[in-house]
Amino acid sequence: MSGENLPGRVYGSLLAARRWHPAEIAFWLLAVVVYFALPRQLLLLNEIAILALFALSLDLILGYAGIVSLGHAAFLGMGAYVAGLLALHVTADPLIGLVAASAASALLGLVTSPLVLKGNDLTRLMVTLGIGLLMLELANSLSFITGGADGLQGIVMGNLLGVFEFDLFGKTAYAYSLSVLFILFLIARRIVHSPFGLSLRAIRDNSLRATAAGVPRNGRLAAVYTLSAAYAGAAGALLAQTTSFVSLDVLDFHRSADVMLVLILGGPGWLYGGLVGSIAFKFLQDLIAGWTPQYWQFWIGLLLVLFVLGGREILHGGIKGLVARIPFLQRGRRP
Amino acid sequence: MAELLRVTGLSAGYGEAVVLFDIDLDLAEGRSLALLGRNGVGKTTLINSFIGVTRQRTGTIVLAGRDITALAPEARAHAGIGWVPQERNIFKSLTVVENLTAVMRPGAWTPERVFALFPRLAERKGNLGNQLSGGEQQMLAIGRALVLNPKLLLLDEPTEGLAPIIVEELLRALKRLFREEGLSAIVIEQHAKKILELTDDTIVLERGRVVLRASSSDLLAEPARLERHLGLTAA
């Protein structure tokens, strides 16, 4: 049932949940401001925007539908290879590549979705891990298409919208990735606040009860899994197009593990978790790698353990306290 | 009055265990039925069989002329079964309004009407499910079943574990639903006397079989009959 058919008081209450919070507006304005304020960091910011989109895709299934995945890189990799191959052999137009990559990943998501509909979290972890490993091995085996261990080289992207050339400093890349991230975020935001999104959370909270209330569990989970795959595919396309390179690394397990880590850092189930987590993860990675290039993964791992064991509550409490002290951020609702 | 539900020769259970044996019952539109019996006799299993989460061995379930025996739970909900589970099972991460709109289907029952029935819920419409008291959760569970606009409402011990004042409020709401709105319902309830006052008919289960069927008013007038089967006074 569409929200527009609901009586005023109830519809108003639902609209309140969809209303933009000042902190959200501030977040996106800041993402634009850094384009001008940090011109030397645009390549890093581009990586953050792509990782944020990848994490947003995982949040759609993990945060809203409760589907855990350790093989999300399969969709990222599919998107990256489709965008790369399209640019090499068919058209260098970035937007066509983006749409084609999303569609291919969505198709892969749709085909594999029946595998994640049954079983518990452990089953899903193993199944998604298996899908990720299969895709990696498939890409490795099809080296005459994918370039194998050497990857796809010599990708030259056309100008964005026929006007903006991809430059070495990441100006076009960041603006492109941020724009795609924002548009897909808007769509995701609309979806999670719709009755469809509510039904996903109902399934996550209590699958049997939701089913007995007439929610088509399998159909909804397959739909959101496919959507999530499309988002991950878009992230893969951005990665391929803005770096002009695709290798087996995009399908590697560490991609799936990293994005899970990012989402845990930011907190699943509120859309901004992936975005905030990717900022924290990339800056931490950049900072610690600069300090100790050989052991940065050790420190990231240690921080993650401390964070999960209690630091998350302290950090989130601190952020809430900070927001409470800023009057501008008090209007509206938490996103 | 048209027949709404007809159950014929129903045997069902869980896995290899059979809990219900050869159950026959029927319910006309606009009638309400109390389902009584001692603990463990199969009352909840019968309700679960209606919603489709048991293993059915034999028999048929026909709702409003449609055989729903082989349907999945979601299809049964679409066919017109609304279920208020014993554990309430509120969607804890959704607000009160969201709990209702996540599952609502077109019909006379809207969230607004639910709020009119339970004004206490209207005051809490922005609260998350896990921020509600037990009584409010039960009201929301009933409301959530109502916005499915069911032909048949199934209530599994709706007053269990609630404070007396909340029980009274819930029973008043159920009375309105059964008597004024003419909603068809099957209710499992431990407070036998209170539910007999609300319902039209009663069946008593013993060891998975129907052992007594009578009008609720007759049983109220003859408490000894009920006592024989339940082993307690209908208080």
Q: Is the pLDDT of residue B229 over 80?
A: no
Q: For residue B129, give how far its alpha carbon lies from the nearest alpha carbon of chain A (Å).
A: 10
Calpha distance A263→A269 (Å, rounded): 9
* Ramachandran class of A77: left when φ > 0, alpha when ψ lies in -120 to 50, beta otherwise: alpha
Length of chain B equals 235
Q: For residue B43, give how far its alpha carbon lies from the nearest alpha carbon of chain A (Å).
A: 18
Instruction: With cut-offs at 50, 70 and 90, classify the pLDDT of residue B52.
Output: very high
> Which residues numbered 178-207 in B keep a CB inside 8 Å of some CB on A?
none
Section B160-187 average pLDDT: 92
pTM above 0.90, yes or no: no
Among A1, A201, A213, beta carbon nearest to B77: A213
Please report, in tens digits, the pLDDT of each residue of chain A (335 residues total).
Answer: 444 445 566 666 666 777 888 989 999 999 999 999 999 999 999 999 999 999 999 999 999 999 999 999 999 999 999 999 999 999 999 999 999 999 999 999 999 999 988 878 889 999 999 999 999 999 999 999 998 888 998 899 989 998 999 998 999 999 999 999 999 999 999 999 998 999 999 999 998 889 988 899 999 999 999 999 999 999 999 999 999 999 999 999 999 999 999 998 888 999 999 999 999 999 888 888 888 888 888 888 888 888 878 766 776 677 667 666 766 655 544 43
Residues of B in contact with A210 (CB under 8 A): 91, 102-103
Domains of chain A: 19-330 (1.10.3470)
Chain-centre distance for alpha carbon A154: 27
Nearest to A94 by CA among A293, A234, A288: A234
Q: For residue B230, give how far its alpha carbon lies from the nearest alpha carbon of chain A (Å).
A: 30
Q: For residue A220, give how far its alpha carbon lies from the nearest alpha carbon of chain B (Å).
A: 12
| Top-confidence range, A118-122, B29-33, B123-127 | B29-33
> Per-residue pLDDT tens for A41-75?
999 999 999 999 999 999 999 999 999 999 999 99
> Which residues numbered 3-22 in A keep a CB inside 8 Å of some CB on B?
3, 5-7, 9-10, 13-14, 16-17
Between B91 and A328, the higher pLDDT residue: B91
Are the C-beta atoms of A280 and A265 separated by less than 8 Å?
yes
Are the C-beta atoms of A116 and A124 separated by less than 8 Å?
yes
> How is residue A191 written in tokens?
């979806």
Calpha distance A88→B183 (Å, rounded): 66
Q: What is the layout of strands, in order, in the sheet containing B152-156?
A: B81-84, B152-156, B184-188, B32-36, B201-206, B209-215
- The share of chain B scoring above pLDDT 90, in percent, equals 80
Give the pairing of strands B201-206 and B32-36.
Answer: parallel
Among A13, A209, A214, beta carbon nearest to B89: A209
CB contact under 8 A, A211 and B78: no
CB contact under 8 A, A10 and B101: yes
